[in-house]
Amino acid sequence: RNIQMKVKTQNAPLRKAKSTALEDVRQYCSSSDSQEWQMFIQRHVEPLAEHYRSMSIKPFHMNMTLWWNNCHEMMMIGIHKRNRQIGEEKLKFQ
């Protein structure tokens, strides 16, 4: 991915490892050349992030929704059975 970043963002200070590398990248991202950085984010990073979300987080959310729906249904069935049993016991008692 770093090779892709070097090709797509020619002005980014990614050429040499130095002690000020982090500061150089921060300055590049906040400078007037950040248009190149923003385009890189929009064209390459955001699609990958969306793909990650669609493959990992959304299925988990769907599974949790199904699980909670099943829990709610079982709870409602349990309440209905209990109420029916109470009603039957009242009829037997009378």
For 41-86, how does the pLDDT look when each residue is reduced to its tens digit (9 = 90+)? Answer: 888 889 999 999 888 888 898 999 999 999 999 999 999 999 999 9
Q: Which residues contact 6 (CB under 8 A, 6 or more apart)?
A: 12, 14, 15
Alpha-carbon distances of 94 from 26, 80, 87, 88, rounded to whole Å: 81, 21, 11, 10
Residues in the chain: 94
Task: State pTM to two decimals.
Answer: 0.47
Query: What's the pLDDT score for residue 29?
Result: 79
Is 10 a residue whose pLDDT tops 80?
no
Query: What's the pLDDT score for residue 40?
Result: 83
Torsion of CA 79, 82, 83, 86, to 10 degrees: -160
Helix (H, G, I), strand (E, B) or coil at 27: helix
* HSE (side-chain half, CA atoms, 13 Å) at 26: 4
The residue that leads in pLDDT, 64 or 94, is 64
